[in-house]
Amino acid sequence: MSTTAERVVVVMGVSGSGKTTVGAALAAHYGWTFVDADDFHGAVNQQKMAAGVPLDDDDRSPWLDRLRTLLDDALARGDGIVLACSALKRAYRERLGLPRPGVALLHLHGTREVLEERLRARSNHYMPPSLLASQLEALEPPDDAVILAIDASLDDVVARAIAALAPLGRQP
C-alpha cells in the first residue's frame, strides 16, 4: 500500500477471468480511462494466439515495454486509468514497474472450470480456450495484490473490487 492515493489500477488474471469486463466497470465507476492490454499486442502475437500458440517471453517483451510506458505516462500526468493486463509472471509485473506507489494491483482468480466455461461462451476473441492451460501454468500469483474470486455475478465482483480497493486510497 502506498502513502499516496493510487491513480492506476492494474486488473490482472488469466484469460477468461474478467479483466476487461471488471476493468471497464471500475474505470466507469471512478470516471477514469479504461485500457485493455490486448490492444497493445502486435498483429504477429494476435495471430500466434489465434492459432493456439502460446506467447513466449520474447513475444511479450515489446508488449510489456509499451504497457510500462503507458503506466509511466499516466502516473507522471496524474491520470486515473484502469489497465486490464494478464501480468501472469512476477518478471512481467516487474517489467511493468510493479509494485510501485500510485498503482494498485487487482488479481481476478477463478477455478479452471469457471474459466473454461467463460472462454467457451465468448466469441470474437483471438485467445482460444486451448491456451488456458498454458496461462494457468505460467501464472505466478502475486503477493502484493488484492485477490478477488470471480465466483459471483459481475455486479457483485465489481462491488467487491470497489470495496477492496477503497482502503488503498482510491480517488474516484
In a domain, 95, yes or no: yes
Confirm whether 68 is domain-assigned.
yes
Is 120 inside any structural domain?
Answer: yes
Kindly state whether residue 31 falls inside one of the protein's structural domains. yes
Angstrom distance (rounded) from CA 33 to CA 133: 31
**CATH number of the domain bearing residue 149:** 3.40.50.300
pLDDT in tens, 26-47: 999 999 999 999 899 878 877 8
Res 123 pLDDT > 80: no
Cβ pair 129, 70 in contact under 8 A? no
pLDDT value at residue 70 = 97
Q: What is the pLDDT of residues 63-109, one digit of tens each?
A: 999 999 999 999 999 999 999 999 999 999 999 999 999 999 999 99
Give yes or no for residue 148 having a pLDDT over 60: yes
Does 3 reside within a domain? Answer: no
The average confidence (pLDDT) of the chain is 87
Pairing of strands 103-109, 81-84: unpaired
Q: Could you give the dihedral angle defined by the CA atoms of residues 161, 24, 60 and 144, in that order, rounded to the nearest 10 degrees?
A: -20
Q: In this predicted structure, what is the pLDDT of residue 18?
A: 92
The reported pTM is 0.86
Considering the domain boundaries, does residue 1 fall inside one?
Answer: no
Is a pLDDT exceeding 60 seen at residue 172? no
For residue 52, is it within any domain?
yes
What counts of helices (H) and strands (E) characterise the chain? 7, 5
How far is it, in rounded angstroms, from Cα 74 to Cα 137?
31
Residue 172 lies inside a defined structural domain of this protein: no
What range defines the domain where residue 161 resides?
A: 8-167
Indicate the number of domains in the chain: 1
Paired sense of beta strands 81-84 and 8-12, if any: parallel
Residue 161's nearest CA partner among 53, 29, 56 is 29
Which residue is associated with the grid cell 472462454?
119
Residue 128 has pLDDT above 80, yes or no: no
pLDDT-based confidence at 57, cuts 50/70/90? confident
Among 103, 100, 133, residue whose Cα is nearest residue 116: 133
Burial class (CB in 10 A: 0-12, 13-18, 19+), 153: exposed
Please provide residue 127's backbone torsions phi and psi, each rounded to the nearest 5 degrees: -90, 105
| Whether the bond into 142 is cis, omega within 30 of 0 | no
